[in-house]
């Protein structure tokens, strides 16, 4: 196969990774990202955001309680922890509008008694997730939502290192009897199409290895849509966060239903 044919085949495969309803949005987004001036600007912005400290986004606290998705403290009730980066923390929109907060609404509406803990931190990579895991799993954690990898993809972290870090997170949670939901992420082809495809496969292979559910692409329906993205073209708006919750909920709900200690009356 010629170099041109191989590149075209790789490109077609990459597009096929995403739901057909999102392909046009992704094509437009990738086209803009690959314009020379915009590409250099976008990479600079993305890498800068990836190194921002997490001063405004604290993770789970000590024995006195945890920060819920809305930032309030709660007693020891069954917890669902969302371990992630700024896509999880609600950067630019606040915790009250982040996808963990929306998932809390969905659980309440379904009468499922859980507290969602927003353990998102700006700039977090899979390696940061490993370092923060012990604190994130304190208390009565029953489900761990692993939503890491976006910053790894922006930095060009070797895929094997990404897989190793995510494997550690999943295995440690499973060892504690915690159910795990993995959220898939895609890498823009700024490091080449081969890297993007390996990055994509890493999440599927992880889910298959540990036999845990996988959200194929947590940003499906968000990327490339103006109303879903903030002006930085990186972080979701409140509407985008709700779309992320829509992507996660069909996979989270069965886990919650299987282990819910008791159903509570849904608010009228």
- The answer to whether the beta carbons of residues 207 and 180 sit under 8 Å apart is no
**235 a catalytic residue:** yes
Task: Report phi then psi at 66, rounded to 5.
Answer: -130, 165
Which member of 13, 48, 194, 232 is catalytic? Answer: 232
Closest Cα partner for 19 from 217, 250, 249? 217
**232 a catalytic residue:** yes
**86 a catalytic residue:** yes
Task: Report phi then psi at 201, rounded to 5.
Answer: -65, -30
Report d(CA 108, CA 100) in Å as an integer: 12
Which member of 25, 97, 200, 235 is catalytic? Answer: 235
Which member of 22, 25, 86, 126 is catalytic? Answer: 86
Report d(CA 136, CA 130) in Å as an integer: 10
Angle at 251 between CA 198 and CA 18, to 5 degrees: 40
Write out the catalytic residue numbers: 86, 232, 235
């Amino acid at each position: 196969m010629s170099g041109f044919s191989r590149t075209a085949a790789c490109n077609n495969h990459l597009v096929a990774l995403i739901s057909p309803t999102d392909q046009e949005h992704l094509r437009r987004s990738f086209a803009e990202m690959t314009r020379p001036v915009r590409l250099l600007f976008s990479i600079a912005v993305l890498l800068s955001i990836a190194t921002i400290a997490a001063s405004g986004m604290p993770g789970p606290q000590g024995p006195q309680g945890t920060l819920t998705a809305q930032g309030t403290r709660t007693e020891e009730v069954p917890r669902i922890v969302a371990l992630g980066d700024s896509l999880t923390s609600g950067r630019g929109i606040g915790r009250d509008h982040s996808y963990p907060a929306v998932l809390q609404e969905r659980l309440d509406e379904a009468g499922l008694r859980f507290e969602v803990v927003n353990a998102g931190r700006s700039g977090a990579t899979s390696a940061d997730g490993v370092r923060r895991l012990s604190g994130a799993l304190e208390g009565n954690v029953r489900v761990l939502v692993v939503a890491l990898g976006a910053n790894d993809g922006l930095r060009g972290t070797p895929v094997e290192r990404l897989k190793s870090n995510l494997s550690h997170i999943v295995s440690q949670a499973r060892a504690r009897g915690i159910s795990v939901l993995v959220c898939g992420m895609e890498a823009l082809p700024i490091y080449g199409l081969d890297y993007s495809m390996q990055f994509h496969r890493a999440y599927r292979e992880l889910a298959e290895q540990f036999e845990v559910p996988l959200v194929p692409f947590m940003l499906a329906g968000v990327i490339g849509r103006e109303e879903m993205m903030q002006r930085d073209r990186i972080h979701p708006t409140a509407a985008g966060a709700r779309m992320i919750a829509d992507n996660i909920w069909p996979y989270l709900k069965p886990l919650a239903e299987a282990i819910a200690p008791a159903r509570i009356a849904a608010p009228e």
